[in-house]
Amino acid sequence: MTKVVVIGNGMVGYKFCEKLRVSEAGSDFDVTVFGEEPWPAYDRVHLSAYFSGSTADDLIMAPVEWYKENKIDLRTNELVVKIDRDKKKVISHTGEEVSYDKLVLATGSGAFVPPIEGVEKKGVFVYRTLEDLDAIIDYGKKATSAAVIGGGLLGLEAAKAVMDMGLEAHVIEFAPRLMPRQLDDAGASILKSKLEDLGISIHLSKNTQLIQGDGEMTGLKFADDSELPVDMLVISAGIKPRDELAKDCGLPTAPRGGVIVNEFLQTEDEDIYAIGEVASYQNMIYGLVAPGYEMATQVVNQLVEEEVKPFLGFDMSTKLKLIGVDVGSFGDPFGEVEPSKPIVYENKNSGLYKRINVSLDGKRLLGGILVGDATEYSMLWQMAQNKMPLPPEPEDLILGARGGKESAGAGVESLPNEAQVCSCENVTKGDICSIIENDGVTKMDEIKSCTKAGTGCGGCVPMVNDLLKHQLKSMGKQVKNVICDHFDYSRQELLDIVKVKKIKSYDELLDQFGKGDGCEVCKPAVASILASTWNELITKQDTIQDTNDRYLANIQKGGTYSVVPRVPGGEITPDKLIVLGEVAKKYGLYSKITGGQRIDLFGARVDQLPDIWEELINAGFESGHAYGKSLRTIKSCVGSTWCRYGVQDSVSFAIQVEERYRGLRSPHKIKGAVSGCIRECAEAQSKDFGIIATEKGWNLYVCGNGGSKPQHAQLLINDVDTETCLKYIDRFLMFYIRTAEPLTRTATWLNKLEGGMDYLRDVVVNDSLGIGEELEKEMEFMIQTYACEWKEVVNNPELRAKFKHFVNSDEEDPNLDWQEMRGQKIPASWG
């Protein structure tokens, strides 16, 4: 039996063991693994989740029992201190000696610490292991601010950790931009702005010279003589390969560190391999997990004598979410490898930057950068990797859907079979299609189990899902769009069932048309369907809706709730303003004017909500539905009432529209606006429906939205009178409610609607389906049956009694904690 010793039990070391054991000849090897940490291998890619509630157990890739079941001798907390190449054995710090036939170095890397004076002071940490994180969390309890040295991937992950601890966060970067290896100046500028909006201070072109303080750090001093007072420092400035064992036993290392390997991952000693971040191939260290997994696979293939492919480098394209901001970089992002023409879309207002580099002949995509929205990343990366032909207008790839088309680029069906869909596990399109066609696989979980695709970073899951649907369709199998495993129906079918069968409760629907006990997907979806159909008070439903709907308020950081009364059209009397101020003062609520022309009151305990609502209702307010998937606001400018440019009374019309559709439940939130002239001060063309005044009446735009994926609304009809405009909005909204999938905004719904805007106009304006009058009657029912949900709770003792923190006690939440900011209270920092 061949003896294999693996030094290092990180992600790549574990993957080697997994690949070896699942191979046909895997049982022919006696495997010993040394790990210097106390835990089995854990997921370093998602290390920052440790600061937001994940435990060490959540991050473990396989428990100790897995190693035992697979007859792998796992030695945690044991450091190998010497490799004896002559005697082919390794020696640990305990004096234990283990012989090998084949040795795999998977020692990974450590944190690179720049030579900064004072780096030994208390309060200075690196960001690499779970032990590092425990130390950071412990020290952070007495800190108020922290700096992170390093504005690359690792540094920004560390900055997220600092934020999750509730500390004032600073990022220090030596280069003039963030993520200099992945982003160009413009993309990095957008990322910087988005991170600053989140409260992180970014300091660029800073060379840290001194860590100040006597014993404990108190601040940083830079080469330009500027200073930054902070309590804590996290160094995440890059990695340094752990190649000291290799050096000590005489194996050659690269000038920039790392054990030199050939294309078969062999070191100078043919019985010793190096994989992961410790391996240097052609003077290149690969710091991502996907190339490490590929190296592990190729070494296993050599040991078990399966198909051996040389390792000839690895594409370093990457997509990730940094502190809630999508970032993607693929192919040749800077256009440096070969001459190219960049196509750039930049929207500083919404924080979007998209760049693609097209070959000079306009036929190939060479690379690109995405910041703020990386939805198209997977397909763009595939197009670059597989040299797929570009559409006639390449800019459509980043400008998104136009003219009602869902996508300007090619779909998954156009990918070659050798296209690598999952880079973490090196799974191709052909691999996935093969198991669907030959092994009868029909579900995403089965694909993950068979191929491991989607089990790494998870970035390939949408594309794998698209492949599954396409392959099943190509095989002539019905691909049914079902809401979840508990209902064999789509949302549209369930809505029709609820209407026809006059079903009024979730349990009734589940008993007659579902199975099991339901889940977090179907329960709120059915709650929305029931509310959209019967317009009954959502708090009277059994607890199938989410927390916000259950308590008619948005739960906020710290466990309190916000109160948002409706202010139709943004118009409010002085008396009502005074009442809002008095209520906020009485209950100690944080007050803020929202972007939708309303006033938000934060910090209410759940038991205070009915009392607050009662005071507001007595003053003439009603629920603003800020918590529901329903109409939020109708924003307006002052229109012809005050503005010298206004051609119609936009305020009066906005109030009429908001009071018409208030409380309307829908698949997603709905926002509207009315502008009094073409100057568009209410920004109507960024709303789900927007109305713009003309000299002849109103222009109606539909299916726009702002947010993370902004899309302009499209003109449905122009120059209509008020009555006709409302009729078309009635039809549009009810058709959307009937046909959209759960949690689908109107913009996305239109993009996926076959026929796009032309079809929608036919249905709404031309009544091509003959359902116009029916849709209008359904809307009239909603209008006539509307009731303020807050008022219903205030006047119903049984409902009012549900609003308390403990089900068996009237005590207040004892865990609420506050701090002051600019004269108002906010939740105390988490962590």
Instruction: Please identify, among 237, 255, 274, the residue that sits at the C-terminal boundary of a domain.
Output: 237
More confident: 825 or 226:
226
Partnered with residue 354 across adjacent β-strands are 345, 370
- Closest of 431, 338, 432, 331 to residue 388, by C-alpha: 331
Q: Is there a contact between 12 and 297 (Cβ–Cβ < 8 Å)?
A: no
Encode pLDDT of 89-118 as tens digits: 999 999 999 999 999 999 999 989 999 999
Q: Looking at the domain assignment, is residue 342 inside a domain?
A: no
Q: Within 13 Å, how many C-alpha atoms sit on residue 269's CB side?
A: 23
Distance, in Å, from the CA atom of 622 to the CA atom of 620, rounded to the nearest integer, reads 7
Find residue 328's DSSP bridge partners. 319, 370
- 222 and 130 in a single domain? The answer is yes
pLDDT at 734: 97
Q: Are residues 656 and 709 in the same domain?
A: yes
- Is pLDDT of 455 > 80? no
Higher pLDDT, 220 or 287: 220
Do 541 and 551 sit in the same domain of this protein? no
636 and 616 in a common domain:
no
Confidence at residue 24, expressed as pLDDT on a 0 to 100 scale: 79
Which residues are paired to 171 by β-bridges?
148, 202
Instruction: Write out the two tokens for 487.
Output: 């209902």
d(CA 810, CA 518): 31
Average pLDDT, the chain: 89
At which of 281, 303, 325 does a domain end?
A: 303
- Report, as an integer, the average pLDDT of 352-366: 92
Return the closest-CA partner of residue 505 out of 536, 459, 473: 536
Would you state the pLDDT for residue 51? 80
Q: Indicate the residue type of 337.
A: V
Same domain membership, residue 28 and residue 151: no
The two tokens of residue 653 are 């019309």
533 class by beta-carbon count within 10 Å (0-12 exposed, 13-18 middle, 19+ buried): buried
516 and 577 share one domain: no
> Does a structural domain hold residue 313?
no
**125 and 83 housed in the same domain:** no
Total Cβ atoms within 10 A of residue 307: 7
Q: What is the pLDDT of residue 752?
A: 83
The number of distinct structural domains making up the chain is 5
Query: Does 346 fall in a domain?
Result: no
Which residues, 6 or more positions from 494, have their beta carbon under 8 angstroms from its beta carbon? Answer: 483, 487, 509, 513, 525, 526, 529
Residues 591 and 734 in one domain: no
Q: Quick: pLDDT tens for 605-631.
A: 999 999 999 999 999 999 999 988 999
- Does one domain contain both 639 and 731? yes
pLDDT of residue 200: 92
Q: Are 151 and 127 in contact (CB under 8 A)?
A: no
pLDDT for position 422: 84
Q: Residues, the chain, total? A: 831
Mean pLDDT, rounded, for 504-518 = 90
Instruction: Tell me if the pTM is above 0.85.
Output: no
Least confident of 161-165, 312-316, 736-740, 753-757: 312-316
Q: Looking at the domain assignment, is residue 722 inside a domain?
A: yes
Q: Are 459 and 319 in contact (CB under 8 A)?
A: yes
Which letter, b or e, does each residue of 60-89 get, where b requires 16 or more Cβ atoms within 10 Å of its Cβ? Answer: bbbeeebbeebebebbbebebeebebeebb
Residue 417 burial class via C-beta count within 10 angstroms: exposed 0-12, middle 13-18, buried 19 and up: exposed
Express each pLDDT in 760-797 by its tens digit.
999 999 999 999 999 999 999 999 999 999 999 999 99
The mean pLDDT of 651-655, rounded to a whole number, is 96
Q: Cβ neighbours of residue 798 under 8 Å, at least 6 residues apart? A: none
Task: Answer with the one of 206, 237, 268 that is the final residue of a domain.
Answer: 237
The reply to whether 437 falls in a domain is no
285 pLDDT more than 80: yes
Whether 815 is in a domain gets the answer: yes
Which CATH number belongs to the domain containing residue 271 in this structure? 3.50.50.60
pLDDT of 405 reads 43
225 and 106 assigned to the same domain: no
**Residue 346 CB partners (closer than 8 Å, separation 6+):** 186, 190, 352, 353, 354
Q: Residue 143, SS3?
A: coil
Residues 599 and 646 in one domain: no
Does the structure show a pLDDT above 50 at 404? Answer: no
Residues 407-424 have a mean pLDDT of 72
Closest CA to 689 of 743, 742, 638, 760: 760
**614 and 650 fall within a common domain:** no
Q: Is residue 86 part of a domain?
A: yes
As a whole number of Å, the end-to-end CA separation of the chain is 51
Question: What would you measure as the largest C-alpha separation in the chain, in angstroms?
Answer: 94
CATH number for the domain spanning 824: value is 3.30.70.2500
User: Positive or negative, the Cα torsion across 526, 532, 537, 539?
Assistant: positive
pLDDT of residue 423: 76
| Domain span at 593 | 546-628+803-831
Highest mean pLDDT among 346-355, 497-506, 511-520: 497-506
Q: What pLDDT does 551 receive?
A: 84
- Distances from the Cα of 171 to the Cαs of 121, 176, 197, 224, 287, in angstroms? 19, 12, 14, 17, 21
User: Does residue 74 lie in a domain region?
Assistant: yes
Mean per-residue pLDDT for 377-394? 86
- Tell me the CA distances in angstroms from 156 to 161, 204, 221, one per residue in order: 9, 13, 21
User: What confidence tier does 401 reach under pLDDT thresholds 50, 70, 90?
Assistant: very low
Q: Residue 319 and residue 325: Cα distance in Å, rounded?
A: 11
pLDDT band of residue 755 (cuts 50, 70, 90) is confident
Structure tokens at 314: 């690895």
**What's the rounded Cα separation, in Å, for the pair 128 and 111?**
6
